[in-house]
């Protein structure tokens, strides 16, 4: 055999040998070899049961998706390259020209951009409903409403929808109910137990947990699976298997990490509530949160993301001396990772709790020592004083 042929084939037999490891193998593959011509002919007709191409999902993707199915009690799960890619897939899978969809007003900004900037081009009309809606949602549903999108708590202003009440009405009217469940993770809220059809997770946040991966999943109940599978198949959408591998690894430690995020965030939230410069702390697990009872009704815990506003005397000023001088809080988007982060700005047009026009500082509480984090915020806030 000539060297050029050896270059192409060497090591292949060994690569196909099975070794039993705890974690799934990482394949690098576009082409997947068929065992026989008969299998290829089946694949040509769409009848092959096995994996026929890299986009179908290899060991790590399959293992991660299967783990999410089990964790969420879903019928099926599909991973995508990011949370927003997962959201976009859902919005395309369940809609067509002439449909109307309903989105909660506190939704993650790029979800709104996708509806207004993309779906609108294809004749899908979007309306936004108040972020604290419940059974009153019936008044927003039209003849042609096909999908309703929840996000609870919203990731900037933390309003909660009455999820079971909304999903029950959706079911009675043939509307697919969807939730972005990133804040709670499948550990602290199970959408399917409350009648939701489709659950989205940005695994970029707590599931991977290290601010180094972009990944999203969509899990559905049995009834909603076929449409998602079909749309994903048309796009041949998939997530990188290294990312799925890391996400699977993240699941193994999610419970302990989330507990640590939860405890530190709650402690800092309570401390901020008593801080002389703070007007309100927006954290659903605090009794002062306007929907605290609803939160208790639905959620088994709180994650590490919450927000606060400052008293009026500190509102109309340049907040750079506070934010720029924080030593432990990074200034950047996203959340759910081990490092504490801060964002700030006037995010929302409407808000049921009166935060409109207020600067909202959002904190992702990481895994640093909680006293160090408090001290950092304290010294930063002090710099806003004249």
Ligand X SMILES: Cc1ncc(COP(=O)(O)O)c(C=O)c1O
Measured from the CB atom, is 169 or 257 closer to ligand X? 257
- For the CB of residue 286, give the shortest distance to ligand X in the complex, in Å: 20
Closest separation in Å from C-beta 41 to ligand X: 39
We find the least distance from the C-beta atom of residue 201 to ligand X, in angstroms, to be 8
Q: Tell me whether residue 201 or residue 220 sits nearer to ligand X (CB atom).
A: 201
Decide whether 62 or 334 has the Cβ nearer to ligand X.
334
Least Cβ distance, residue 88 to ligand X (angstroms): 10
Distance CA 279, CA 308 (A): 7
**Which residue's CB is nearer to ligand X, number 334 or number 359?**
334
Q: How far is the CB of 205 from ligand X (least distance, A)?
A: 7
Closer residue to ligand X (CB): 167 or 182: 182
Tokens representing 44 are 């040509």
Q: Which residue is nearest to ligand X (CB)?
A: 83
Whose Cβ is closer to ligand X: residue 18's or residue 333's?
A: 333
175 vs 184 by CB, closer to ligand X? 184
Contacts with ligand X by CB under 6 A lie at: 82-84, 108, 151, 155, 180, 182, 202, 204, 214, 216, 334
Q: Shortest distance, CB of residue 379 to ligand X, whole angstroms?
A: 28
Shortest Cβ distance from residue 248 to ligand X (Å)? Answer: 17
- Rounded Cα distance between 134 and 273, Å, is 28
């Amino acid at each position: 055999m000539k060297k050029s042929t050896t270059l192409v084939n060497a090591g292949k037999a060994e690569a196909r040998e099975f070794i039993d490891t705890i974690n799934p193998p990482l394949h690098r593959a576009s082409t997947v070899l068929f065992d026989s011509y008969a299998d290829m002919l089946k694949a040509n007709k769409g009848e092959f049961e096995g994996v026929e191409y890299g986009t179908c999902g290899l060991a790590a993707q399959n293992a991660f998706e299967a783990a999410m199915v089990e964790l969420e009690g879903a019928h099926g799960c599909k991973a995508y390259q990011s949370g927003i890619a997962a959201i976009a897939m859902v919005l395309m899978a369940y809609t067509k020209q002439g449909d109307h969809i309903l989105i909660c007003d506190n939704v993650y900004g790029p979800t709104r951009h996708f509806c207004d900037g993309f779906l609108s081009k294809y004749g899908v009309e979007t309306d936004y409903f108040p972020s604290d809606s419940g059974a009153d949602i019936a008044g927003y549903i039209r003849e042609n409403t096909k999908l309703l999108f929840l996000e609870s708590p919203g990731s900037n202003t933390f309003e909660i929808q009455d999820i079971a009440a909304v999903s029950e009405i959706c079911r009675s009217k043939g509307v697919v109910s969807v939730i972005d469940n990133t804040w709670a993770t499948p550990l602290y809220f199970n959408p399917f137990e409350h009648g939701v059809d489709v659950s989205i997770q940005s695994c970029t946040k707590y599931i991977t947990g290290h601010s180094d991966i972009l990944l999203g999943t969509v899990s559905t109940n049995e009834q909603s699976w076929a449409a998602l599978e079909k749309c994903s198949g048309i796009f041949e959408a998939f997530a990188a298997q290294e990312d799925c591998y890391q996400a699977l690894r993240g699941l193994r430690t999610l419970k302990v990490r989330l507990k640590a995020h939860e405890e530190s965030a709650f402690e800092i939230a309570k401390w901020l509530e008593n801080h002389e410069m703070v007007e309100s702390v927006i954290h659903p697990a605090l009794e002062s949160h306007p929907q605290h009872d609803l939160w208790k009704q639905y959620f088994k815990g709180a994650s590490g993301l919450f927000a606060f506003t400052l008293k009026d005397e500190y509102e109309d000023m340049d907040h750079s001396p506070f934010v720029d001088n924080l030593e432990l809080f990074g200034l950047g988007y996203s959340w759910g990772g081990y490092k504490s982060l801060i964002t700030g700005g006037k995010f929302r047009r409407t808000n049921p709790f009166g935060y409109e026009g207020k600067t909202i500082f959002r904190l992702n509480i990481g895994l640093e020592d909680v006293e160090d984090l408090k001290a950092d915020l304290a010294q930063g806030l002090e710099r806003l004083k004249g």
